Structure 1
Amino acid sequence: MKAQTSITRSAPAKARRALLGMAAAAMLAGGASLPVRAQDAASYPSRMIRITVPNPAGGTSDVLGRLLAKELGEMFKQPVIVENKAGGNGQIGAAFVAKSAPDGYNLLLLDMSVLTIGPSVVAQLPYNPQKDLAPITIPAYSPHLLVVRNDLPVKNIDELAAYAKKSGKPPSFGTPLASISQLAGILIAQDRGFEFNVIGYKGGAQALADLAGGQIDSAMASVVATNQLVQGGKVKAIAVTSAKPFAATPGVPTVASQIPNFVTGSWQGLLAPANTPPAVLDKLQDAVQRIVTRPEFAKHLQELGSEPSAMNRQQIAEWMRTETQRWGKVVKDNNIKAE
């Protein structure tokens, strides 16, 4: 006779209460907290909020996270802190939040490419970005800039393609491997009928430093990362990947003007664990949107080389699905592997 493993309707109420108490104790012992109850959503937040940034301090996500933490803390009258959990190309911090309690007190801020490329390049990803995380908002978008060394005789991507074909050797392209910048560069080169000689780097900053020093021919990174070098005359910008001319890069032609509908970049997304109450997500979305549309904050974003996105939660979720499919095909077609 098999042992009975579930409590039936006829089980004593005392036994049911004991079982629930044991489950709650196990959750708390494991570091999780009980989910927010529906009636508690109206009083959210009532304690400290932690924003996990899965990158080292000083990067784009970290800078943005700390700016938002300050503003949200003042708005909510509760402490909001940023905690850096770097490693695994952003996947360690993302998985940590995905597995956190869905109570609105553990949030994730990161470049969304970690979530849209990760499933294609990381074997056995320990979470599902589309199922285990709930989008809240995208407070900042910074398109990519395709930049070349100053003495390269090209002013746009068509001239770069012509140069590559005439020279008889692929121009070198510095990029972190299996990154959004590598995949975007591959698509541009394929559309224009040439190849890049991809030079792998640990991070985009190292590639840009070598480009400024004339050691490689080209690189691609967000406007936030590249524009200071462009404005300082260290490198030359030949294309920006925004859908239309970008305010922070006047005079730089868009890739979309030569390759229709080509849009890439760094979408800095704020997310929560899946099953976080919609009322909590609504409150966070509204708070961040109010912050990023304030004239002084919007001006600061523009100075950094970013602008807020107008996508709502449902639109972000759909965008994640289509971007995951888009980059998954590029990864498969080009046999891209993570470092």
Structure 2
Amino acid sequence: MTTSTHHRTFLTGRRKALAVLASLAAGTAVLPGAAFAQAYPTKPVTIVVPFSAGGTTDILARLVGQYLSTELGQPVVVENKAGAGGNIGGQYAAKAAADGYTLFMGTVGTQAINASLYKKMPFDPIKDFAPLTRVANVPNLLVANPQQPFKTVPEMIAYAKANPGKINFGSPGNGASPHLSGELFNSMAKVELTHIPYKGSAPAVTDLLGNQIAIMFDNMPSVIPHVRSGKLRAIAITTAKRSPELPDVPTIAEAGVPGYEAMSWFGLLAPAATPKPVLDKLSGALAKVLANPEVKKKIADQGGEPVNETPAQFAAFIKSESAKWGKVVKSSGASLD
């Protein structure tokens, strides 16, 4: 074999080897995503809760996590990262590895209110997350101290218009869903209720029971025991439909403010870059969990309304809620650093 022939044979062999390597590389570029999703999950999955243990967000995350663990065949653990209205937990989950092992229990606050309320956000609620499904809606209840001179929404509006600024309403804090439920009522009913923020729901309810404040919009689980005992008067519910827990209490919309709807809601999301096959596996598992009659009953027992929707439906819902609450925050003048 001449030197030139040997050189040509070497080059041909080298090209073939490179072609094989290139095809292998192309194959491995495609395979890991599918293979990873097929194997997923191979270790525990964490749900980040942006509030402290014991609250509604935490209760729902632990409930869903328990049943999701059965569907996925791996433990699901809850990690509480509270602070800054949910922004600390939101930032942590948004920046986590996008591999399906870190999920986030988002709320109306973290996903729809905070971006308008806080001057600086450590994450983008829309761009940094891939929505999986809403888990539950929790109504807010408009309650009054029984000594107040009104029993219905029209009576309260008439009293508020005759006495501007005299009705004060408490909330668990600036920017919380109950606060903005009151601001939305102000703008839609064209009244001037005076907001009194508290550090949490419990001290606000205590002052309401003592008639230090007149009314309150609050998550139903916090006030329903006092309504049932007769210590507080339920005037109306903030959701579009009546609650099975209090079927005789009208919605604010049907009681005199057409189109009014406000609620707390909770849903699961993953970091935005999570591979689609993994997201599909998660949303499929969650659909089974949320269709489970036991899970639905346990959510209802908390005063919540179970929700089971597709990622696309949840994404569209978040965008509509962001626009709605952005307007409410702007008109209320609320702002936090």
The TM-score range, normalised by the shorter chain, is: 0.7 to 0.9
**In the alignment, which residue of structure 1 is the partner of 2:125?**
129
**In the alignment, which residue of structure 1 is the partner of 2:103?**
107
Query: Does the Cα contact within 8 Å between 1:186 and 1:195 map onto a contact in 2?
Result: no
> Which of the numbers 171, 186, 190 marks the counterpart of 1:189?
186
Are the structure 2 counterparts of residues 277 and 156 from structure 1 closer, same or farther at C-alpha, using a change threshold of 3 Å?
A: farther
**In the alignment, which residue of structure 1 is the partner of 2:24?**
none
Query: Distance between the aligned counterparts of 1:118 and 1:144, measured in 2?
Result: 18
Instruction: Report the number of matched residues.
Output: 305
**In the alignment, which residue of structure 2 is the partner of 1:32?**
none
**Identity over aligned residues, as a percent?**
39
Query: Distance between the aligned counterparts of 2:109 and 2:101, measured in 1?
Result: 23
**In the alignment, which residue of structure 1 is the partner of 2:271?**
273
Deviation at 1:84, TM superposition (A): 0.6
Query: Distance between the aligned counterparts of 1:79 and 1:331, measured in 2?
Result: 39
Query: Distance between the aligned counterparts of 2:205 and 2:119, measured in 1?
Result: 29
Q: SS of 1:255's equivalent?
A: coil
Deviation at 1:331, TM superposition (A): 1.7
Query: Does the Cα contact within 8 Å between 2:86 and 2:109 map onto a contact in 1?
Result: no
Are the structure 2 counterparts of residues 281 and 112 from structure 1 closer, same or farther at C-alpha, using a change threshold of 3 Å?
A: farther
Alignment of structure 1 residues 221-300 onto 2, 5 Å: 221-257=218-254, 258-300=256-298
Are the structure 2 counterparts of residues 238 and 212 from structure 1 closer, same or farther at C-alpha, using a change threshold of 3 Å?
A: same
* C-alpha RMSD of matched pairs (Å): 1.8
Deviation at 1:55, TM superposition (A): 0.5
**In the alignment, which residue of structure 1 is the partner of 2:211?**
214
What TM-score do the two structures reach when normalised by structure 2? 0.85
Q: Structure 1 stretches of 5 or more lacking a match?
A: 1-12, 14-35
Larger Rg belongs to: 2
Query: Distance between the aligned counterparts of 1:59 and 1:272, measured in 2?
Result: 21
Give the letter aligned to residue 300 of structure 1. Answer: K
Give the letter aligned to residue 244 of structure 1. Answer: K
Query: Distance between the aligned counterparts of 1:322 and 1:253, measured in 2?
Result: 25
Deviation at 1:106, TM superposition (A): 0.5
Deviation by residue 1:209-234 (Cα, 9 ceiling, x = unmatched): 22123221111122233222222322
Of 184-193 and 120-129, deviating more is: 184-193
Alignment of structure 1 residues 127-206 onto 2, 5 Å: 127-167=123-163, 169-175=165-171, 176-206=173-203
Deviation at 1:169, TM superposition (A): 4.3
Deviation at 1:121, TM superposition (A): 1.3
Deviation by residue 1:144-181 (Cα, 9 ceiling, x = unmatched): 11111122232222111112233454211111112222
Query: Does the Cα contact within 8 Å between 2:136 and 2:265 map onto a contact in 1?
Result: yes
Query: Does the Cα contact within 8 Å between 2:45 and 2:103 map onto a contact in 1?
Result: yes
Q: Which runs of 4+ in 1 moved over 6 A?
A: none
Deviation at 1:273, TM superposition (A): 0.4
